Each structure stands twice: as structure tokens, then as C-alpha cells.
Structure 1
Amino acid sequence: MTAAELAERLRGTLIVSCQAPPGDPMRETDTLVRLARAAAAGGGAAIRANEPEVVAAISAAVDLPLIGLWKDGDVGVYITPTPRHAVAVAEAGAHIVAADATDRPRPDGSAFADLVAAVHAAGALVMADVSTLAEGVTAAAQGADFVSTTLSGYVPGTPKRDGPDLDLVAALSAAIDVPVVAEGRIGTPEEAAAALARGAHSVVVGTAITAPTALTARFVAGIVRP
């Protein structure tokens, strides 16, 4: 499937992120595959998943476009940080490889453009996870096929928000020609619709759909005891 064909298939749709953090009871491959199957049954248009093993298992079980990544560590650039990580994700079955495209240094000294070239050579597409307008513009110029607002509010120096960064969605959509994907702190259908209205090509939702531990904690924190 070409970049144009996949972009058209994802236009105006919901992508469901089926992930779980380290130590979470949901962080088992079989469980994440079931989450992906449930997302597909509910009408999700694509799946976003972490780690080659999980990507391969979901690819075998769910007939939807798959956005794969590989989180290695938890500080600095850790979302698919190197070409080696990216190629492994592509070889596991991801149609699109998501990777940190911020301007921070990478652990192996490579550039984002190196990762883009490696993924394209492996036959997959690239989604650039960015935190600012400048990063998104640069990533698109370096060959990214999609640009996502995933890292807004999670990189030092970017403003923290309770909800999605719709201003960044709108700014990127006006500045670049590649599809812009809204991701990050989208908690309701209304926020997802608002992201599309501000110019997003598609919307990724994770915690609000597939994270029962975080959702339970949110309810517990919100209970006012008599």
C-alpha cells in the first residue's frame, strides 16, 4: 500500500493505541492482541502498538493498518530511537513506523533522516512524533509520511495541557502537506471530533480506550468520600 493509499484509508478515522506501561497487568502480548481485536470490532481504523513482538502478534491477528513503535527506556529520545529499532518494527509487520522526531540527540548519534531512509528501504512508512511546529515542519522535509502531535507537553520546554494540543494540530495542518495525526490526551469523542475539525487527518486515542489501570485510578482520585 502506497503512502497516498494508506493516507486516504485513514482520513477522518480513529486509530486506537493498544499499549501498556511496564509493570501494568495489561502488558502481556495476548492481552494487547485482544485489545486490538476489540478496537477493530468497535470500528477502529488502525492500531498503534509497541515492541516488535506485540506488533508481529497484532499483525497476525488483526486485518488493519498497523502503526508500530519500540519504546526503549523512558528518558530522552526513547520512542523508536534508532534506525535499528525502526527496521525491527517494520520487519515485525508495521505498515507505519512511529518514531521520535524531536530535535533532541539520539542514543546512537544518528539523525531522524537516517531513520526515515532505513524504514523506507524496509518497505514501510514513517510517522514523526513531534512536540512543536518547527519539529513537524523539519520532519516533513526529511521525508516523514505522517506527522503526529504525540510528544506535545511531554518534552521539556513544551507547555503542559490537560487536553489535546489542538493549536499544534491546526498549525501543523496549515504548514505541511503530509497528513497530521492528532495524538496525546484525547479523552472524549468530542475532543477527537474537535481535532479533526482543526485539521487533523486522523486521531489516535489510547488511555481513554485501552488503559483500565489508568482509568480506574482516575475514578478513584475523583471520588469525594463523605
Structure 2
Amino acid sequence: MDAATRHQRILDLLAGAGYESVPSLATALQVSEMTIRRDLDHLEASGLIRRTHGGAVGGGANEFSLDFGLRRRQQQEAKTRIADAAARHLREDQVVFVDSGSTTLALSDRLAAIPRLTVVTPSLPLAQLLVAKRMANVHLLGGEVRYDLMGCVGPITEQALAAFHLDVAILGASGVHLERGLCRSTVEEIPLKRQAARQADRVLVLATRDKIGRSGAMYFLPASEIDLVITDTADGVEELVPAASAGRPPPR
């Protein structure tokens, strides 16, 4: 297989899965991992993909701004595993903030199964799914609706959130750096995310593995304010505790 054919095949695989590891690409294309690394370097230099630790994601610099519907369809199996792991950290009678985003949306079935759980969210599709499952305690935070987020942002949303004491805040991010914190490409979301973290006893971050280690221009939450990062691995999930959060006081 010549280089041009390999490059197109890599792009096709990344378009379908969102993320591929170097070993998985080497197996799929029946070449060495060294060859795959050279191919990924070439594709990244061309702006067609973005390298991550151990693999690559499709879309290059445009990946941050993918339409919500497309993001929701990507990496569904990984998001399901992350949601299963996150649900194990929730308890009945808690009040939980659930962020907008395609990864947090995967939590809907698990949230509805927890007795007397109260969910506070700016996410329109999450609120709709929970109501459809006959979940009683769902609070949709109003405000300006962003079509790319399928959620609400702005001062009205933040004012509505201020009424709640949160046991847990479940956040998403464009990138998760275990030393620097969380970064986000959508500026309008940042104040609400910060506020949810401040109001919560515990902060969980859900992120697919392509976002781990990703740096960004805008960090909105330092690692010291994150209790746990839940991400996927090749065959399961991994729970990461940022070193800076080790000194956080226990929940009130």
C-alpha cells in the first residue's frame, strides 16, 4: 500500500471513529507503528488531523467546532463506558449539575435510574430525555440558547443556577490537562462551568481520551478544583485524580 492510499485510509478511519490509536491503525493497515507515526506526522502537518498521546483525532483544528449532532454520534461506545463509570459516583437524594455536551448526554439512562436524584442542567436534549423517562426532579436552566451547544448560556442561566446547592458538578471540556486544568473553545460557556464548580461539593470531569493532555488558549478551571477525571481506554475506563487536587477538603 503506497503512502497516499494509507493516508486516505487513515482519514477514513478517523472520520468514522473520531479517535484511533497508533497500534489500532497499524493493525488495520498492516504496517509498522513507526510507519503510522510518520503518516500521522504528515497528516497533522497538512492540517488534516491532530495528534494526541498515542494516536490521533480527525478534523485538525476544526475538531473543536464540530456540530453538536456530529459530536453526539462520534465515539458512542467510549461515551457509554464513561457514563457508566460516572454514574457509580452518584447517590440517591443528591443534587447534580450536568453540563451541556455530547459526553455528558450519554448519562441520561443512568441518571433516570437513581432514586430521588435531582438534575440541574442547561442542556436541552438532556432535559428532554430525562422528562421522557418520567424522571421527576429535572431543572432546566433557562437563558440564551446556543444551537452548537444545544444548551443555555448567559447571565439568566447563571442566575438560575445560583439557587441550588450542588452535591456534584459533572463537567465537560474541550481539553483536559492534569496539571493546568480544563480548557474550552466556547467562551460563552465558561462562566456557567466555573460557577457550577464553585457551588459543588465535588467536581467530576467526563472526557473522551482524545481530550486528555490537550492544551488550549483559555483555561477556565484549574486542576486543583477537579476531584476526578473519567475517560475511556482501549478496552475500558480510567479514573484520573489531578495531583493538584490531592489537598482538596472532603465534601461538606
Structure (1 or 2) with the larger CA radius of gyration:
2
The two structures have a TM-score, normalised by structure 2, of 0.31
| Higher strand proportion | 2
